[in-house]
Structure 1
Amino acid sequence: SFLMLVALKYFFNHEKEIHWIKMIEGPLSAMGKLEAIEVGVVLAVIYGVSRWVPEAETLSVIYSGIAGVLTFLAVEGLSVFLRVPAGHGLDAHRASLGMFLYLEVLDASFSFDGVVGAFAITNNLLIISLGLGIGAMFVRSLTIMMVEKGTLQAFRYLEHGAFYAVAALSGIMFLNTIVHVPEIVTGFIGVTLIALSIYASPRIPTGS
């Protein structure tokens, strides 16, 4: 539910001006004028999924989903609080701390299933920690390189593709509570969405 809220928060943004798939993002952006609509959508999804799982797992699904929603609201609220101007201007340190906390929780959400999956290969915590550390360093280096080279400016729909991938991942995670979805399908969908956004970026005019 946390990842779904992250994705929906991006699409339900009434100030969002650049749309990759206008027929989808345009209406969602307009609906963003409704306060906390993304929370309502996710709560509806949680309720819907809870109706499809075995009765013994219903409360577990509901509690887990609500925990994700509360985590998102707490992190989002803290992030906004730390970005509030202190004194005569915005405190850069507080704003950076808020963004850092937000990214850490987001990273933990992505890493959680990877950690669980790692135990299927080895129980050695050192090896698992090294693997996660190497992955984190790779992502950090890749992110810094993309920022320095202005990749997001060159591929204006890359950000859209990334959030579509997050939305797809969160949807699959909910679906996994009902029926097993192979990991290769999840990975393929994410890579395909990002690849399509990169491919479309130089060819579709801004705002279409």
Structure 2
Amino acid sequence: MSRRIQENDIFEHANFPRVPGDARQTTSPVPFDNSNQPGDTSMSQPASGNNTLGYFKWAFIVTVAGLVLGAWLGWQTTGTIGGMATVFFICAVLAVLEISLSFDNAIVNANKLKDMTPVWQHRFLTWGIVIAVFGMRIVFPLLIVVIAAGIGPVDAFILAAREPAEYARIMNDAHLPIAAFGGTFLMMVGLTYFFDHEKDVHWIEMIEKHMARSATIKGIEIAFVLLLILLFSKLLEGEEAVTFVYSAIYGLLTFLAVEVLGGLLDQSQKTMSEAAKGGLGAFIYLEVLDASFSFDGVIGAFALSQNLFVIAIGLGIGAMYVRSMTIMLVEKGTLAEYRYLEHGAFYAILILSVIMYCQTLVHIPEVITGLGGAGLIGVSLWSSIRYNRKERAEELQRERETIAENI
């Protein structure tokens, strides 16, 4: 047997990780390029040839347009260069705040998005960004004021434009029910990921193995959340406790309703069109998830500005980066490459949900929330890199041993 045949045989049985399309090099080493493969239109396939900055093209365009619009708004409001620069700076800071708070959001989105059809992936980036910017950053705050103040939508819009201080006060007063609702929804998202008896990849094994085993107990995550709701309600008094419990229960019911609705929409291939299979339910889930992530950022933004439109511009810029980051993670197959990255994101979600609960008792700066989530994701990325290096070293060792046996 020739040396060439021996080496090929080794590669056939060594079980090395392969690039998409099983693109083994049997001749001269040429960089893998899937651009010429027919029918490969799925956004969930790694696009290794794509420039990373290319994913953020529209985010950069929106950034420039948003900052210019913010500067113009500052000039129109104050009529001074200083006022224009201030609004410009606030928009930039809000964008950074949104991005820092949303690293975990992007990773969780990618986890769901990779299983969606290309059509719905595209809709998430187009329709989804419209819903995220106009729905969550403009309509949602107005809706809160409409409900809290008992006024009409037009009056709420006029209040935001003419009396931003009063508008901000109403928003801050509504923080308790928002935190209870959003915290409960996010807690269910995080717990559902870990309480999964089919989950076999564990980052912090001491915790995750027990949670995976406990998943055989039906409804354990719901019971856990209900227990936390009762505990936190005991720390509040009177009307606040009642508001907290009601809002948290609504958050729990919303999560369950979205799960049921998503299953009904996605499970039947007979009643759904080909484009909608595995897409509409996941799309609704992602939009509600994005809304829950946005609660904290929208409320926290009022600490920097009381102007609804300035907040919408700043957070809208950040939301565009989150969408672009999500698509990049899906196309490059980053979640598959870094096995613990997903774990870090879901731990960050659980911590964020607990922080939102705690914010009903004490004020916690948004910088702590952002740094905590980003820190966990960073550690999970580092752990993934260490694991990959260890695996690669073991593969090389097995390769050497196999070659030595065949000589």
Q: Does 1:137 align with 2:320?
A: yes
1:12 alignment partner in structure 2: 195
Distance 2:333 2:226 in 1: 37
- When structure 1 is superposed on structure 2, of 133-142 and 39-48 the one drifting more is 133-142
Distance 1:137 1:4 in 2: 25
Partner amino acid, structure 2, of 1:106 = L
Partner amino acid, structure 2, of 1:119 = F
Partner amino acid, structure 1, of 2:224 = V
Distance 1:77 1:184 in 2: 35
TM-score (norm 2): 0.48
Distance 1:85 1:4 in 2: 28
Q: Does 1:36 align with 2:219?
A: yes
Partner amino acid, structure 2, of 1:75 = V
1:2 alignment partner in structure 2: 185
Q: Does 1:24 align with 2:201?
A: no
Distance 2:241 2:349 in 1: 24
How far 1:170 moved relative to its partner?
Answer: 0.3
2:78 alignment partner in structure 1: none
Give 1:139-158 correspondences, 5 Å limit: 139-158=322-341
Partner amino acid, structure 1, of 2:292 = S
CA contact (8 A) 1:83 1:90 kept: no
Distance 1:138 1:126 in 2: 19
Give 1:86-105 correspondences, 5 Å limit: 86-87=269-270, 91-105=274-288
- When structure 1 is superposed on structure 2, of 145-154 and 25-34 the one drifting more is 145-154
CA contact (8 A) 2:266 2:280 kept: no
Distance 2:331 2:362 in 1: 42
1:68 alignment partner in structure 2: 251
Distance 2:371 2:310 in 1: 26
2:263 alignment partner in structure 1: 80
Give the paired residue count.
206
Give 1:113-192 correspondences, 5 Å limit: 113-192=296-375
Query: Which 4+ stretches in 1 moved above 6 angstroms?
Result: none
Which residues of structure 2 form unaligned runs of 5+? 1-183, 392-407
2:107 alignment partner in structure 1: none
Distance 2:227 2:328 in 1: 39
Partner amino acid, structure 2, of 1:149 = K
Which residues of structure 1 form unaligned runs of 5+? none
Percentage of pairs with the same residue: 52
- When structure 1 is superposed on structure 2, of 84-93 and 28-37 the one drifting more is 84-93
1:155-178, CA deviations, whole angstroms, 9 ceiling, x for partnerless residues? 110000000000000011112222
Alignment partner of 1:112 out of 295, 312, 325: 295
CA contact (8 A) 1:83 1:91 kept: no
Q: Does 1:47 align with 2:230?
A: yes
How far 1:96 moved relative to its partner?
Answer: 0.6
TM-score (norm 1): 0.92
CA contact (8 A) 2:296 2:356 kept: no
1:119-150, CA deviations, whole angstroms, 9 ceiling, x for partnerless residues? 33334333222223212211111111122221
1:55-104, CA deviations, whole angstroms, 9 ceiling, x for partnerless residues? 33110110111010011011111011112123299955042111110010
- When structure 1 is superposed on structure 2, of 110-119 and 10-19 the one drifting more is 110-119
Partner amino acid, structure 2, of 1:58 = A
Distance 1:11 1:90 in 2: 32
Partner amino acid, structure 2, of 1:187 = G
Distance 1:68 1:88 in 2: 29
Distance 2:274 2:194 in 1: 28
Partner amino acid, structure 1, of 2:215 = G
Alignment partner of 1:58 out of 238, 241, 262: 241
Work out which of the two has the higher radius of gyration on C-alpha atoms and give 1 or 2: 2
Partner amino acid, structure 1, of 2:218 = E
- When structure 1 is superposed on structure 2, of 116-125 and 67-76 the one drifting more is 116-125
Q: SS state of the match for residue 38, structure 1? A: helix
Distance 1:150 1:20, change over 3 A: same
